[in-house]
Amino acid sequence: MTQLDSPPRSPTGGAAPLERRTVPLGRRLRRASMPWLLLAPALLVLAVLLLWPMLRVLNLSLQDFELRNLLRGESNYIGLDNYVQVLTDPFLWKTVLPNTVGFALVCVVLTMIVGTVVAVFLNSLGTAWRSISTTAIMVAWAVPALTGTYIFVWLFDPQSGLVISTLDGLGVMEPGSFNWFTNRWTFYAIATINVVYHGFPFIAVTMLAGLMTVPKELYEAAAMDGATAWSRFWNVTVPALRPIIAVCVILSTIWDFKVFVQIYLMPGGDGSTREVMNLGVWSYTQSFAQGEYGMGSTIAVLLTALLLVISVIYLRVLMKEDEL
């Protein structure tokens, strides 16, 4: 990451050093400490509430830390035993990891496709309809994950939800004959609809902002050369938007790996149906339902490590695009 270490460019360019020499030393010192004074409260909060807990969770992951350790305030280091136990658990490889990674991948792909299609469509509209449609998808974005999840659970309610009632009306399925929430595949299908519904507006709005910057002349030139709409999309739009697409893909990946509320609040998602657990829910229930904080921390560390890898890729892409 060479961009990280390069000194920030002076905004005033060549004139700055000349000017700076005339400023008295005391004032210069005061000016140098100014940004740190301004940053101090924010850095303090982030250090105490985000960085310190991250170190604490690492520390806990090396302990067999249960409720009694908490009550007596003792630590109980067991080295890497938790990691060995988690990483050799077939439950991780057969259930939790596929649920986390597979679900995230499907959601990212679907969110990107839906978001891009909507963005291209919005871009083809006139100003008035575009802003009305944008407001509508903003509503989809704004619905909190919490209530959004309950709405989808209600829509798919096996007894009297809209979906089963419609299927009953069509003569396909009887109400109550099948519980969508106890089957791994249908459970995650519903969760996918929920997450994609919540996630596509961000992609659409961001891609739309990008699309509007692509010069119209490029499309006209391509059309003159006889390119179809499809090939114009792949040969003009996609290359022009590559940086925005990269940022969208990585951010969606990070968000979809972290999905917790949308799973936890579905029937059986709080750990009572073990085969629908993902890493986040597993870590949470291991800690707060089983009282095994050490083991829960180990799972949390693994999830964080997974996200860290994606974040580093994200940063590299971002740093390549513009100076921070």
The answer to the question of residue 324 lying near another protein (CB under 8 A) is yes
Among 97, 101, 189, 247, binds another protein (CB under 8 A): 247
Can you tell me the distance from the alpha carbon of 187 to that of 176, in angstroms, rounded to the nearest whole number? 16
Can you tell me the distance from the alpha carbon of 180 to that of 182, in angstroms, rounded to the nearest whole number? 6
| Contact call for residues 86 and 302 (beta carbons, < 8 A) | yes
Interface mask toward another protein for 266-305; x: CB under 8 A: -------------xx--xx--xx----x--xx--xx-xx-
Closest of 317, 125, 119, 137 to residue 233, by C-alpha: 119
Among 78, 87, 109, 138, binds another protein (CB under 8 A): 138
Can you tell me the distance from the alpha carbon of 4 to that of 257, in angstroms, rounded to the nearest whole number? 26
Among 2, 11, 13, 226, binds another protein (CB under 8 A): 11
Single out the segment in contact with another protein by CB under 8 A; choices: 17-25, 74-82, 178-186, 242-250: 242-250
Q: How many residues bind another protein (CB under 8 A)?
A: 102
Could you tell me if residue 157 is left (phi over 0), alpha (psi between -120 and 50 degrees) or otherwise beta? beta
Among 97, 101, 155, 189, binds another protein (CB under 8 A): 155
- In angstroms, what is the minimal distance from the CB of 217 to another protein? 21
User: What residues pair up with 292 in beta bridges, in sequence order?
Assistant: 66
Length of the chain: 324
Among 142, 221, 223, 238, binds another protein (CB under 8 A): 142
Closer by beta carbon to another protein, 140 or else 218: 140
Contacts (Cβ under 8 Å, ≥6 apart) of 285: 270, 271, 277, 296
Closer by beta carbon to another protein, 188 or else 284: 284
**What type of residue sits at position 247?**
V
| Contact call for residues 314 and 257 (beta carbons, < 8 A) | no
**What type of residue sits at position 271?**
G
Interface mask toward another protein for 48-67; x: CB under 8 A: xxxxxxx-xx--x-------
- In angstroms, what is the minimal distance from the CB of 34 to another protein? 6
The answer to the question of residue 32 lying near another protein (CB under 8 A) is yes
Among 75, 76, 160, 290, binds another protein (CB under 8 A): 160
Hey, is 278 helix, strand or coil?
coil
- In angstroms, what is the minimal distance from the CB of 144 to another protein? 4
Residue 187 sits at the vertex; the CA angle it makes with 186 and 189, to the nearest 5 degrees, is: 60
The answer to the question of residue 315 lying near another protein (CB under 8 A) is yes
CA 293 and chain centroid, separation: 25
User: Which token pair is 274?
Assistant: 């073990």
Single out the segment in contact with another protein by CB under 8 A; choices: 81-89, 120-128, 179-187, 218-226: 120-128
